[in-house]
Chain A
């Protein structure tokens, strides 16, 4: 963080000193977010990842306008076609346009990724903050429960929930959320444990603030960086799990397309029609890669101590 600050101090200070003489300005205070932003945009890989993520979000939002054909419109006379001028990425075994299905698949993937994070945040932050702040018996009970949840093989548990409840998008959110909050809860708790001994929290307590007020006003805002980083890694993880689930035929139900489901369905035609499997697989790999680059960059930017 000091590099920018020194630089700004000098560039401001030099002209001022020339004009007035002996005035030396203190460096302009910069906020955490501003510092982080500058660190982030200096990281080329993170910027590249961020741009792809942004593009993907745009594609997901404007999927209806961008799709050349409806994602579920099949035309059997055009089945199994290789990429061409009409069907840029070819068609699948019942003649549905692959490009349209991949575009709509972006919406499904992002929706699953974000939806799962909503549930993870709603469970993980309160559990972590309460356990960390109040400590004692409550903490040890909650953390024992977290340990039990942690021992669950996540994918299997997700399959259990979705097959039992039925695999709608909402149920996939729920399954991913119910299994995914454990990591966030642990991180928030660890952060709160150190924060609750800080002077400003003690001061707040001495002036009569209650537990809920301190948690909401002081502790959670100060764990924001941990939460944001955890979410940036959580989104691709959720997309990954949904893809695996759909690949096994236990996830998003047809005709709604999902990248994992497309790979799973079309892999039996690999020998003759490679394009059907390769394009959704590439979309998946590119998305995961971009999120990883962006997440790595964001973590380094928000927490300079981690940066080596």
Chain B
């Protein structure tokens, strides 16, 4: 178990290295550069100025040298400066914006797992009743609706139609996840983005839970548990749920990825000042340092989450042996 964990963690280094190399090659093999961004409102510099700037930022050096410099800096946790927001370092931008994305993603996941599990369990226990049909069709609908469509519908109905909740969020500077004052003032801003981001994963979790529960409910040991006179509640909670959750855990890995990339759309739609908002602008501005940092952070996060899920899987199901 320990050996397996260490091995998986060690494998992350070559994975991240390969990932950074692929990103580096794609960025440099394609036309445009931070000094000549090809963007719509770009303001091209004179060739002489471009050459000077390139020398200043080290963009005139051979590519392999640039890549090695980049690696050396990353090891020292230095992602360089942002070419688009010229006075700011990438790490500072990330420090300000990543917590917002992280909080949004976590809220969405908490929302998705609690409601999704409940919905799935209730649907399975009350199989073939109207509750089941309602839960199943709602989750089918939610699985196949892109999250920005959900977001647009929520804005139309809840924010504009019923005027219940605000749409746009406050700026990043005021954000403090540990302050009660911040949350008591601003909690309403977070509701719609959280629901928008969480509803797809919620439906997926509900579907998997229901299918897996129904599978377990029919097994022999559950019949035995009922036969020896256990209350239905105890059967469901102690025997069915414990075994039914194992397959559900496997989909949490892909769900992390979905929520992670989903934050980009949701931040765009609700103008949440998170990391995703910067990604699109840094793309068209050829902001090499920023693109690299955002992609690597997401990749790193996904990799860690996948390892956590795999370990959790073995913890829930003792039949699984790591080797």
Task: Give me the interface of A with B, judged by CB distance under 8 Å.
Answer: 144-145, 147-148, 151-157, 159-161, 163-165, 236, 240, 243-244, 247-250, 260, 263-264, 267, 270-271, 274, 277-278, 281, 284-285, 288-289, 291-293, 308
Contact = CB atoms under 8 A, between A and B. Distances in A.
B140 A292 contact: yes
B26 A164 contact: yes
B125 interface: no
Contacts of A144: 14
A147 B148 contact: no
B260 interface: yes
Name the 6 nearest CB pairs between A and B, nearest first. Answer: A164-B30, A288-B144, A155-B261, A163-B283, A289-B144, A281-B149
Given A156-B264, A160-B291, A260-B146, A148 B15 contact: yes
A153 B260 CA distance: 8
Contact of B156 (A153, A248, A270, A289): A270
A157 B260 CA distance: 13
A152 B144 contact: no
Interface in B203-226: 211, 214-215
A284 B145 CA distance: 8
Interface in B114-156: 140-141, 143-146, 148-149, 152-153, 155-156
Contacts of B306: 151
Contacts of A289: 140-141, 144-145
B226 to A, nearest CB: 20
Interface stretch (B175-183, B239-247, B293-301): B293-301
Interface string B258-293: 001100110011000000000110011000000100
Nearest to A144: B14
Given A159-B280, A163-B283, A164-B30, A153 B295 contact: yes
Contact of A292 (B27, B143, B284, B294): B143
Contact of B146 (A156, A165, A240): A240
Given A243-B148, A260-B148, A289-B144, 8 more contacts: A244-B148, A247-B148, A248-B264, A249-B280, A260-B146, A278-B156, A285-B144, A308-B214
Contacts of B269: 267
A147 B299 CA distance: 12
